[in-house]
Structure formats: C-alpha cells, structure tokens
C-alpha cells in the first residue's frame, strides 16, 4: 500500500481497495465484475492470485521500515469458484526471518472461502 492507503500499481488498476495494513496483517476489498470473469463465467484465477499476493505484500511491508518484499514463492489453493460481487482478502505474516518472510492469505465471498494462499517473500534491503 502507498503512504496514502491506496493499494497502488496493478492491483489498484484492477479495482482492489486497501482497508488496513498494520502489525503484520492486511485487509483488502474487491468487487468482482463481469470483466474479471473467465470463459467459464467464474472469477479468473489470476485476479485472485493478484489479490492474495498484494495483501500479503502489504502485510510484510507493515512489519518493516526500509526492506522491500519481493514474492519468491506463491502457492494458491482455489477452494471454490468466485462470482461477481464483493470479496474480502485478509493476510497475515506467519514467520519472519532475517531474509525471508512467510505469509498466509484468504479470500472470502459471502462468508465462504474461495482461496487460501501461502507465500514466501524475500526482503530486499533498500
């Protein structure tokens, strides 16, 4: 997230909205529209992967002053298809090392889990 609370970059252009990022956790909101669907009529997996990656990056950034997180590994488990409508994305730092940080994230729609993700971020010193 940027200093003014915006998600920034590609995720913001996609329509993701930052809610909070503090103390190793982050929340985003997103409204899926027709343009975000795949040919099967469900939410495109790449959109969901972008959302969890963005939320986890924000969670990592909330724990550091100068280090920049770079995704080095991302595993996305798709639990059920998403449809047009509102989504909630939550992320939290699980383990922080000197050079690597592990995070988890979840995407929910209407109280049901759509995605669970785990990622490793390399901490790049600026």
pTM: 0.91
Burial category of 82 from C-beta neighbours within 10 Å (exposed 0-12, middle 13-18, buried 19 and up) = buried
73 contacts 53 by C-beta, under 8 angstroms: no
Residue ranges covered by each domain of the chain:
9-124
pLDDT in tens, 17-67: 888 899 999 999 999 999 999 999 999 999 999 999 999 999 999 998 888
Q: Cα(59)–Cα(78) distance, rounded to whole angstroms?
A: 21
Confidence band, pLDDT 50/70/90 cuts, at residue 105: very high
pLDDT (0 to 100) of residue 5: 44
| H or E stretch at 29 | strand 25-32
pLDDT tens-digit map of 87-103: 999 999 999 988 999 99
**Beta-carbon neighbour count of residue 31 at 10 Å?**
12
- Please tell me the class of the 9-124 domain: alpha beta
């Amino acid at each position: 997230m940027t200093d003014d609370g915006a998600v920034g970059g590609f995720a913001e252009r996609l329509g993701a909205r930052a809610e909070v990022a503090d103390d190793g956790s982050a929340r985003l909101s997103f409204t899926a529209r027709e343009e975000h669907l795949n040919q099967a009529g469900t939410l495109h997996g790449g959109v969901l992967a972008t959302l969890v990656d963005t939320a986890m990056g924000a969670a990592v950034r909330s724990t550091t002053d100068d280090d920049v997180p770079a995704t080095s590994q991302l595993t996305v488990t798709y639990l059920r298809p998403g449809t047009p409508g509102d989504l909630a994305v939550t992320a939290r730092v699980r383990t922080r090392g000197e050079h690597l940080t592990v995070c988890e994230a979840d995407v929910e729609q209407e109280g049901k889990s759509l995605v669970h993700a785990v990622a490793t971020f390399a901490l790049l010193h600026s």
